[in-house]
């Protein structure tokens, strides 16, 4: 039977409970004896309501002489959030054996609101003082630095700390199996980065988390941590559909703790002898993976990556332009498309540099043009291939999917897929993938299913979606073609999931393709209304947080956090973005029609009538 609990909440706000601290710019904070002292910057007062600054450096306080069991537990929980090398201060709260064997760096448990700790065994108990740690599990970060949202119904976290006396001092004999951090501490200590692997000829973003400063165990800086993670291989979730160009066993040259850029913005990466005999084409693919992985970690433009052999001789080097050719990124879209007030698919070529431009939509060429043999064809929704030569259109009644070649004249072809349902429960908006396949969901409640039309010419295939619980109401395949975002409705609520597209290798278009391991992509959102893929493997989502209003926000595709929101983006019903960050976000607003957000500018109305905005893909 548990003793009366002595309950204390440990979370990211705890450091400010009794101390008024002063921060010196973004460089650091003076934390009553447990932070580094910066030597420059503006002085500003920090109050508890401000939360924890992501630039704070925290160093734990070692245990006081003859400290009681409760103080030992509290001090240890504080020290787990520190930046001490090898978490040396946290280990001082452990027994000698536990300190030697504790290896928390391999995983992180993230709790939504910190730790509650209870005393469940006092000093007079035969086993000694014992404390139970509890909380609500938000996610885990595994040994490959990948974030995994907690999806089980039971999200309760629970572990026990057993204390014993060692040299007449209370110490913890059973530390937790991983680092345990509140969400606010996790976001202060870690930062998201993308590492890149190949799927076919395209590079795919694999999001992971690394320490914002030197890792306590390896003493590597963030860039080196990221490169090390790249060399270790893809995350378990993405691993089945991507490959790495680095030979098995490739690591950084022994002793490498920091990777820096020279005066010409060249990054030199020394590797071990596993790469010494790699041929030039393979080396360039390795360099492309590296360049895309590290380019977002520097404020300056990365001009070139050079790979070095174990003896530090040059293996190969690659410029940004050459890496882009190897990466096979989607082409820059020439047009933006939408369905106008006459239910026709139209396109616009927009100049983001002109303030006084006239937006002149034009009908798409080919059979969908009103001058063609089918002037009365009404479009409900559409998708355009990446080469902008073909369109997949769903009829206005939602009953038929038509595949149209926009480079030839003639009638609109017969539908390749039909639905027994009618709008709003017929076929949803289609999506093209990088391989030239078309994906579409039938929303008919009696026949709900996901379909793929291989090569946009073959017979539709019904796709097995493992773990699907609900009806797909919207979808978007990622530009790399290995992930699919699904908006799933159940009990009148729409949730966003990411699935991994698995294609049997070397078996042709007829081979069964499946979607595996659905994971939540926006667990922070109470509901999601619309979505689009965005640059650097992110998602642009229109939805509402609990207690909030509908907004458009960028989300990390691993479901870990909200990256940023779009200013003034209220009342949006649909949204579209492209891999090219120089292109505007385009959206449909019920109040203003088709609107457009150029980089660094304000929303503009480009067409008062219209709906269903899209970019190629």
The three-state secondary structure class of 280 is: helix
The three-state secondary structure class of 232 is: helix
The three-state secondary structure class of 399 is: coil
* Residue 85 pLDDT: 72
Surface-to-core class of residue 49, CB atoms within 10 Å of its CB (0-12 exposed, 13-18 middle, 19+ buried)? exposed
Q: Say which residue the tokens 């957000």 belong to.
A: 597
Mean pLDDT of 98-108: 87
216: pLDDT confidence band, cut at 50, 70 and 90? Answer: low
Among 467, 469, 475, which Cα is nearest to 490's? 469
50: pLDDT confidence band, cut at 50, 70 and 90? Answer: very low
Instruction: Please provide the distance, in angstroms rounded to a whole number, between the alpha carbons at the two ends of the chain.
Output: 60
**Cβ-Cβ contacts under 8 Å for 33 (sequence gap 6 or more):** 61
Q: From CA 8, how far away is CA 568, in angstroms rounded?
A: 40
Residue 427 above 50 pLDDT? yes
Asked whether the beta carbons of 124 and 132 are under 8 A apart, the reply is no
Cβ-defined contacts of 498-502 (< 8 Å, 24+): 498/557, 498/559, 499/465, 500/237, 500/238, 500/240, 500/241, 501/241, 501/433, 501/477, 502/240, 502/241
441: pLDDT confidence band, cut at 50, 70 and 90? Answer: very high
Residue 56 above 60 pLDDT? no
CATH of 336-614, one of 3.40.50.970, 3.40.30.160, 3.40.50.920, 2.120.10.30: 2.120.10.30
Give phi and psi for 283, each to the nearest 5: -60, -40
* Residue 43 pLDDT: 29
Give the burial string for 400-414 (b: 16+ CB within 10 Å, else e).
Answer: bbbbbbbeeeeebee
Tell me the pLDDT tens digit for each residue of 386-422.
Answer: 999 999 999 999 999 999 999 998 889 999 999 999 8
Q: From CA 420, how far away is CA 409, in angstroms rounded?
A: 29
Helix ranges (DSSP H) in 295-319: none
Mean pLDDT of 440-455: 95
Q: From CA 115, how far away is CA 567, in angstroms rounded?
A: 35
Residue 33 above 90 pLDDT? no
40: pLDDT confidence band, cut at 50, 70 and 90? Answer: very low
Domain extent listing, the chain = 8-189, 190-327, 336-614
Residue 60 above 60 pLDDT? yes
Q: From CA 36, how far away is CA 486, in angstroms rounded?
A: 45
Residue 94 above 70 pLDDT? yes
Asked whether the beta carbons of 551 and 566 are under 8 A apart, the reply is yes
* Residue 235 pLDDT: 95
477: pLDDT confidence band, cut at 50, 70 and 90? Answer: very high
Among 493, 400, 393, which Cα is nearest to 442's? 400
**Residues above pLDDT 70, as percent of the chain:** 86
* Residue 354 pLDDT: 55
* Residue 551 pLDDT: 87
- What is the secondary structure of 461-508 as a DSSP string? EEEEETT--SEEEEEEE-TTSSEEEEEEEETTEEEEEEEEEE--TTS-
Asked whether the beta carbons of 307 and 283 are under 8 A apart, the reply is yes
Asked whether the beta carbons of 478 and 485 are under 8 A apart, the reply is yes
Residue 353 above 80 pLDDT? no
Asked whether the beta carbons of 78 and 61 are under 8 A apart, the reply is yes
Residue 605 above 70 pLDDT? yes
Tell me the pLDDT tens digit for each residue of 115-162.
Answer: 999 888 776 677 789 999 999 999 999 988 999 988 777 889 999 999
95-104, 540-549, 559-568: segment of lowest average pLDDT: 559-568
Surface-to-core class of residue 450, CB atoms within 10 Å of its CB (0-12 exposed, 13-18 middle, 19+ buried)? buried
* Residue 372 pLDDT: 58
* Residue 358 pLDDT: 58
Mean pLDDT of 333-344: 94
* Residue 454 pLDDT: 93
Q: Say which residue the tokens 């939408």 belong to.
A: 338
The secondary structure of the chain in percent helix, strand, coil, rounded to multiples of 5, reads 15, 40, 50
Tell me the pLDDT tens digit for each residue of 292-312.
Answer: 999 888 767 788 999 999 999
Q: From CA 49, how far away is CA 356, in angstroms rounded?
A: 44
Residue 334 above 90 pLDDT? yes
Mean pLDDT of 538-550: 88
Q: From CA 65, how far away is CA 72, in angstroms rounded?
A: 10
Q: From CA 440, how far away is CA 442, in angstroms rounded?
A: 7
pLDDT greater at residue 199 or residue 510: 199
Among 397, 398, 447, which Cα is nearest to 427's? 398
**Which range, 214-218, 268-272, 525-529, has the best average confidence (pLDDT)?**
268-272
Surface-to-core class of residue 382, CB atoms within 10 Å of its CB (0-12 exposed, 13-18 middle, 19+ buried)? buried
pLDDT greater at residue 200 or residue 22: 200
Residue 532 above 70 pLDDT? yes
84-88, 263-267, 577-581: segment of lowest average pLDDT: 84-88
Both tokens assigned to 464 = 């097995």
pTM of the predicted model as reported, rounded to 2 decimal places:
0.85
Both tokens assigned to 275 = 């790469």
Cα 495 to Cα 138, 256, 466, 551, 587, distances in angstroms: 17, 43, 16, 15, 20
Residue 615 above 60 pLDDT? yes
How far is residue 21 CA from its own chain's centroid? 33
9-18, 51-60, 104-113, 315-324: segment of lowest average pLDDT: 9-18
Residue 496 above 60 pLDDT? yes
Residue 36 above 90 pLDDT? no
């Amino acid at each position: 039977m548990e003793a009366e609990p002595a309950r204390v909440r440990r979370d990211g706000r705890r450091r400010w409970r009794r101390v008024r601290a002063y921060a010196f710019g973004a460089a650091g904070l003076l934390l009553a004896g447990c932070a580094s002292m910066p030597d420059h910057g503006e002085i500003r007062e920090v109050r508890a309501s401000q939360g924890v600054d992501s630039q704070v450096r925290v160093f734990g306080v070692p245990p006081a002489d003859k400290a009681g069991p409760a103080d030992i537990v509290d001090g240890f929980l504080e020290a787990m959030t520190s930046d001490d090398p090898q978490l040396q201060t946290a280990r001082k709260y452990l027994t000698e054996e536990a300190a030697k064997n504790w290896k928390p760096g391999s995983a992180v448990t993230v709790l939504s609101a910190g730790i509650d700790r209870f005393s469940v065994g006092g000093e007079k108990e035969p086993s000694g003082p014992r404390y139970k740690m509890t909380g609500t599990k938000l996610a885990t970060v595994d040994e490959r630095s990948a974030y995994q949202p907690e999806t089980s119904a039971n999200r309760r976290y629970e572990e026990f700390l057993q204390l014993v006396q060692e040299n007449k001092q209370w110490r913890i004999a059973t530390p937790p199996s991983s680092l345990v951090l509140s969400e606010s501490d996790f976001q202060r200590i870690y930062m998201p980065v993308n590492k890149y692997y190949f799927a076919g000829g395209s590079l795919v973003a694999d999001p992971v988390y690394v320490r914002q400063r030197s890792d306590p165990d390896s003493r590597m800086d963030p860039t080196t941590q990221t490169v090390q993670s790249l060399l270790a291989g893809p995350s378990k979730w993405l691993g089945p559909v991507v490959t790495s160009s680095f030979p098995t066993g490739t690591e950084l040259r022994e002793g490498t703790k920091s990777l820096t850029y020279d005066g010409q913005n060249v990054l030199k990466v020394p590797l071990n002898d596993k790469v010494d005999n790699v041929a030039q084409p393979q080396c360039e693919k390795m360099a492309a993976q590296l360049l895309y992985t590290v380019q977002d970690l520097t404020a300056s433009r990365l001009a070139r990556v050079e790979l070095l052999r174990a003896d530090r001789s040059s293996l190969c080097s690659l410029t940004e332009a050459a890496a882009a050719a190897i990466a096979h990124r989607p082409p820059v879209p020439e047009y933006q498309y939408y369905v106008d007030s006459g239910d026709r698919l139209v396109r616009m070529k927009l100049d983001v540099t002109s303030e006084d431009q006239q937006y002149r939509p034009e009908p798409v060429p080919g059979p969908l043009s009103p001058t063609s043999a089918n002037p009365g064809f009404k479009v409900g929704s559409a998708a355009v291939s990446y080469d902008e030569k073909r369109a997949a259109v769903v009829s206005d009644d939602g009953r038929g999917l038509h595949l149209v070649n926009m480079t030839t004249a003639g009638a609109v072809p017969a539908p390749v897929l039909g639905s027994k349902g009618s709008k709003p429960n017929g076929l949803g908006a289609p999506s093209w993938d990088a391989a030239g396949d078309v994906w579409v969901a039938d929303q008919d409640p009696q026949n709900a299913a996901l379909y793929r039309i291989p090569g946009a010419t073959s017979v539709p295939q019904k796709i097995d979606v493992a773990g699907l619980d609900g009806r797909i109401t919207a979808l978007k395949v990622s530009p790399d073609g290995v992930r699919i975002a699904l908006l799933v409705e159940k009990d009148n609520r729409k949730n966003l999931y990411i699935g991994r597209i698995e294609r049997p290798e070397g078996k042709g278009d007829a081979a069964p393709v499946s979607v595996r391991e659905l994971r939540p992509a926006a667990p922070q959102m109470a509901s999601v209304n619309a979505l689009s893929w965005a640059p650097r493997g992110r998602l642009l989502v229109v939805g509402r947080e609990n207690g909030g209003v509908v907004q458009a926000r960028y989300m990390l595709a691993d479901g870990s956090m909200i990256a940023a929101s779009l200013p003034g983006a209220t009342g949006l019903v649909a949204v579209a973005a492209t891999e090219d960050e120089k292109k505007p976000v385009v959206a449909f607003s019920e109040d203003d029609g088709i609107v457009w957000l150029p980089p660094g500018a304000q929303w503009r109305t480009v067409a008062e009538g219209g709906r269903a905005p899209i970019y190629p893909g």
